[in-house]
Structure 1
Amino acid sequence: MAELARLLATHAGAGRVEWIGLRPERRTAVTAVEKAELTQAGLTGDHARPGKRALTLIQAEHLPVIAALSRRAEVAPELLRRNLVVSGINLAALRHARLGLGEAEIAITGPCAPCSRMEEALGPGGYNAMRGHGGWYAEVIRPGRIALGDAITTIREAPSSP
């Protein structure tokens, strides 16, 4: 069991913030920004609410998969309506872990299921293209400023589970 715990706690390195998007209101266009203030209620200028879903993240590595499954050449992050696109770290392996993100600290709390808007954004089959690739939501443990290029580091590992 100690070996499994070691494997679960080992990552190749830190992740990186590649894109930040704000959704000022429901169903409005997403605006890309270079930096933002992360509060208990989510990103300043975003319509998120405090709690377990204050921030949404998706892996950059999943964008080509979503594009392929929706028969598109590429998928722009703003179509998917997540707050952050991150690269270099497996978010699924970090559920319930505490992460350093710029000056802030977050905890990955659960997977983001696709919404029916993905059919609108990606075309027929967009909902199913997102299944399993929709990203993760997180709660804010400690507010702070975040910016493009910030590292995403593990502060405290998630409880061990297979």
Structure 2
Amino acid sequence: MSLNALIAGWAQPGRVEWIGLRPARREAMQSVDETMTSADGLEGDRSRAGKRAVTLIQQEHLAAIGSYLGQGPVAPEIPRRNLVVSGINLTALKGREVQVGETILRFTVICAPCSRMEEALGKGGYSAVRGHGGWCAEVVRPGQVKLGDVVQPVD
């Protein structure tokens, strides 16, 4: 099998486990069961249009972050990402179009941790999130996203 074919492959679809909106800078995340996307990001979120309109993190990485801190998985609102997804490797989807519910996203750049991770998680919080902070995405096609929606590349 060619390297391109291996890179294009994926084992199973993922699933939306949590949806969070950031109403304003430094305000608490609001957990919702569903939302709509537009070119600007998620309705009710202070997201930015363009390549950082929606942020995603793997649920599996919440456990990894917690393990680096000597605790269980961190709560989904702590990294302040919009969508927590399980069951599919988001890193393998970089640069691809990905269907999440009715919307189509294109993963653009990694979500690097911010200095607030030290404040939120304690000493070493910033380093614990490095490499596990998820991805930013632009909205290719707006639509509804709800808990339990399938996450898969558009082939």
TM over 0.5: yes
8 Å contact kept, 2:64–2:73: no
Residue 37 of structure 1 aligns with which residue? 36
Q: Distance in 2 between matches of 1:5 and 1:74?
A: 34
Compare 2-11 and 92-101 and name the one that shifted more. 2-11
Q: Secondary structure at the match of 1:78?
A: coil
Matched with 2:76 is 77
**1:13-162 alignment, distance < 5 Å:** 13-156=12-155
1:9 aligned partner, one-letter code: A
Contact 2:39 2:142 in 1 (8 A): yes
TM-score for the superposition, normalised by structure 2: 0.97
Q: What's the Cα RMSD here? A: 0.9
Cα separation, 1, equivalents of 2:71 and 2:119: 14
Of the structure 1 ranges 67-76 and 33-42, higher mean CA displacement relative to structure 2 is found in: 67-76
Which whole-Å CA distance do the structure 2 matches of 1:114 and 1:153 have between them? Answer: 25
Q: CA deviation at 1:18?
A: 0.5
Q: Aligned-pair distance for 1:49?
A: 1.4
Give how far 1:72 is off.
2.4
| C-alpha distance in 2 between matches for 1:73 and 1:42 | 30
Task: Provide the TM-score with structure 1 as the length reference.
Answer: 0.93
Partner amino acid, structure 1, of 2:40: A
Structure 2 spans left out of the alignment, 5+ residues: none
* Structure 1 runs (4+) greater than 4 angstroms displaced: none
Percent identical residues: 55
Give the distance between the partners of 1:149 and 1:73, measured in 2 at CA: 23
Q: Cα deviations across residues 106-144 of structure 1 (Å, max 9, x unaligned)?
A: 000010000000001100100000000000000000000
The answer (yes or no) to whether the contact 2:76–2:84 under 8 Å persists in 1 is yes
